[in-house]
Each structure stands twice: as C-alpha cells, then as structure tokens.
Amino acid sequence: MPSRYYSAIAQDTTINGAITNSQTSVVVNAVVGYPSNYPYILALDYGAAAEELVKVTNASGLTLTIVRGYNGTTAVAHATGATVRHVITAQDLTDAQTHYDSTTGAHGVTGAIVGTTDTQTLTNKTISGASNTVTNIPISTGVSGLGTNIATFLATPTSANLASAMSDETGSGLLTFATSPTLTTPILTQGTSTPTFTTNAYTLASSDAGLFLLASNGATAGTINIPTDATYAFANGTQIHIQQTGAGQLTIQATTSGTTTVVSNGATSAAPKVRAQYSVATIMKTATNSWTVYGDIA
C-alpha cells in the first residue's frame, strides 16, 4: 500500500473558515479531483509566506482531517480564502532516493534485499517452477532433514552406503539388478541324462552345479565322487540332485584322494547310497570341502 496517494487532476480550492495553528480539521470549498484514498498532502496558503504542509488522513464531505506541520513545516493559523493545493513534497523525493540507496527494507519488506552478487543467507524462501535450478549445493552439508547416512549414500551411491542408510534391511553384500532374478546355481534344471561312468565311477564336474542328473551305471553298482575344493570349488549352498535310473546302486562319496567330508543321516565320513532304482538323493555343499547328502538314501 502506498505511504501517500496522489492525483494528477486535483484542482486548487480555498479554506472555508479560518483555522488556528492547532486545529486538526479544515473545511475547504471543493475537493474536485482529490485522491479517494488516504493519506495525501495539501499545502495551505500555497505560495505564501505562511505556507504549511498538512497530511490528510480522512475526509467527510468538505471537512478534511489533517496532521499539521508535515515534512518540517510549521503549523500556523490560516484565514478564510487561503489557497489550498494538492502537492508533492520534498519527502516524496527523499523517500525515492532512500529507496535507490537502500539494501534493507526497500518497498516496505522485512529483512535484507537479495542482491545479485552479494554473499547472503536466504531464509523463508520458496523455489518452485519447472525451470528453476539450484546448483553447487553439496548434499552432505547443504541439505538438512535427510535420514541418517542418506547424504553419504547420495554423494557416493554404493551398496555399503545404501545398507548403512537403511534401518530395516536384512543380509549383506552387493546389490544385484536384473530384469528377473537369476540363480547363480539353478535348482532342478535337468543336466546330462547319462553321466559317463569310468571304472564304475562318475566325478562331479563344475557344470553339474545346481542340476538334476539322471545317473546310471546300468545294472552294475557305481559311485558318484565329490571332488575337493582344490579340484573345483563349488559355491557354498550348491545343490546337485541325483536320480538313480539304473538297477546298479549308486554310492555318493568323496574322492579317494581328497579330504572332503560327507555327512548323511547324522554320520560323518559316511558313504550314503541311493536307496533304489529311481530314488533321488541331493548333495549340498555346506562349507569348504564339506557336503551333506539327504533324500531317498540307504
């Protein structure tokens, strides 16, 4: 709201009834073109030695409520017929110059004016709109209100940093992204239908990890040998499924030259047998050179 109002069409008028130097109202003969909002400034006895500036704060018809001695002038008595003119004052020009030079409080706002090159701290500002961009603000120190370790993750988005920022995660290790989950060692994928038995034995190969093997040595008994980690280090948790499709009973054991431990039915260093033709046994690696055999075993 302006501190003073103006009109370019205000016409001069005169005082209708003398006033003393202390009266706070004056009656004029006309208010043609005067501002309809308050305050505005009048000069009583305009151009005379007794000229006084007054601030009009209200009006009722031709009776104006005034503040006397405005802008450094002196309140004096004025006679009937004294000239009254709507004017600008030295205060108007002073206020404009003060505004040009100001760095605070311009336009009546509270707080510092934002300068284009000044070093300043912005508070209570809203930045919005699709085209607005804020750059060069470090996440770790320039943004508040983030959860614990979120800033660290945003600055360095590693699996470990994400895990440290989560409060309800389970497990550990690196993140994996894929179109669909892929098992490192697939389960129940059919492998070679007839593993080749040499001297009545078949030694598991790296390609058997996670497979369902249809194994047979015909009518002759045979063995399924588990290699040591030195030969081939299957991943812990690897499962290999063996179905005995022939009549010859299959024994599952460690290679004779190795140090692999086989556990079955609660016994260590056992050599479990697949129970009968078409029975299925599963061997699962539980640790380095350690395997457990379970299923339809004898």
Per-residue tens of pLDDT for the chain, all 298 residues: 568 999 999 999 999 999 999 999 999 999 999 999 999 999 999 999 999 999 999 999 999 999 999 999 999 999 999 999 999 999 999 988 888 887 665 555 556 666 777 787 777 777 777 777 777 777 767 777 888 888 888 888 888 888 888 877 776 677 766 665 554 444 445 565 578 888 899 999 998 998 999 999 999 999 999 999 988 889 999 999 999 999 999 999 988 766 788 888 877 767 899 999 999 999 999 999 999 999 999 8
Tell me if 266 sits within 8 A of 288, measured CB to CB: no
pTM of this prediction? 0.41
Tokens of residue 143, six digits: 């943004």
Report the distance separating Cα 38 and Cα 270, nearest Å: 106
CA distances from 223 to 245, 276, 283 (A): 13, 14, 13
pLDDT of residue 110: 59
Model pLDDT, residue 48: 96
**Looking at domain 13-91, which of 2.60.40, 2.40.10, 1.10.3470, 2.30.30 is its CATH number?**
2.40.10
- Beta-carbon neighbour count of residue 292 at 10 Å? 16
Written as six digits, the tokens of 290 are 């350690």
CATH 2.60.120-classified regions of the chain: 189-295
Q: For CATH 2.40.10, list the domain ranges present in the chain.
A: 13-91
pLDDT of 111: 61
d(CA 283, CA 298): 14
CB 27, CB 16: distance < 8 Å: yes
Residue in the structure block whose two tokens are 């409060």: 167
* Token reading at 251: 């024994």
Tokens 């311009």 label which residue? 106
* Cα separation, 239 vs 285, whole angstroms: 7
- The span from the CA of 152 to the CA of 143, in Å, is 12
What fold, for 189-295? Jelly Rolls (2.60.120)
- Dihedral of the CA atoms 95, 99, 105, 109 (nearest 10)? 90
Cα–Cα separations (whole angstroms), residue 155 to 146, 148, 158, 251: 13, 13, 9, 56
Cβ count within 10 A of residue 283:
23
> For residue 38, which amino acid is it?
Y
As given in the structure block, the two tokens for residue 167 are: 């409060």
Residue 210 exposure: Cα atoms within 13 Å on the Cβ side? 11
